[in-house]
Amino acid sequence: MGKEQRHKSPLTLEALDLIIANAAEHLAWAIQVAWHIPCRPGQYLYSLTFSQNMRWRRGGLRVFHSKVEKWVFVRCSDEFMKAMEERRRLHKSGHLTEYQDNPVADIATAFSNAAKRAGLKYAVCPYDIRHLWITTMLDKKVEISAIAHLAGTSPRMIIKNYDEPHSSETEKAAALLPKLGAAREAPLRLVRPVRAA
């Protein structure tokens, strides 16, 4: 099973908003789904259905992360759940994402084109949404084990590929470091060697 590679994505929340503003309606919704459900964007994400994956009473959905081979419950905001309920009434395919009554197969080309229309000067791909989600959760101080659980990866991979401490945290570490020798009654003094008579 392949390892998740370190990927320095330049995508920001502001840029993602610009892409959504320049996206067709079905693409804008697919981006929202990819943002709220931190699966690896691809065939599995677009195969999610309202009947099999949604857990309406619990306020989220179940997804299967193939790399770690486990099912995970992803809780969603009340606002997103209401939007999902509306989509359930509109979508004829029964899938969370669809285009012209058929499940969405891939958004890579459409996503790239919307980014160009938005005026982004760098290349982006749908996987950048997942990277942005992970780094945003780290910035919001969400526990690494929770991020790894929801994203279907390991805490070790999150630390290795994403976690970079803020300068304020490294300054805090330096300030909190206890001084050694505080238990001594007298300060440390230089011991001079005794000369032979």
Number of helices (H), then strands (E), belonging to the chain: the values are: 10, 5
The total number of structural domains that make up the chain = 1
Of 186 and 123, the structure prediction assigns the larger pLDDT to 123
Q: pLDDT tens across 75-132, in order?
A: 999 999 999 999 999 999 999 999 999 999 899 999 999 999 999 999 999 999 999 9
On whether residue 149 sits in a domain, the answer given is no
On whether residue 137 sits in a domain, the answer given is no
On whether residue 23 sits in a domain, the answer given is yes
Beta strands in 17-169 (DSSP E): 54-55, 60-65, 70-75, 98-99, 102-103
Least confident of 14-28, 60-74, 84-98, 166-180: 166-180
- φ, ψ of residue 141 in degrees (nearest 5): 65, 30
- Sequence letter at residue 115: A
On whether residue 153 sits in a domain, the answer given is no
- φ, ψ of residue 110 in degrees (nearest 5): -65, -40
| Torsion of Cα atoms, 105 then 106 then 111 then 113, to 10° | -90
Structural domain boundaries enclosing 103: 13-127
Assign residue 46 the CATH number of its domain: 1.10.443.10
On whether residue 108 sits in a domain, the answer given is yes
Q: pLDDT tens across 11-33, in order?
A: 999 999 999 999 999 999 999 99
Q: How far is CA 161 from the centre of its chain?
A: 12
On whether residue 64 sits in a domain, the answer given is yes
On whether residue 173 sits in a domain, the answer given is no
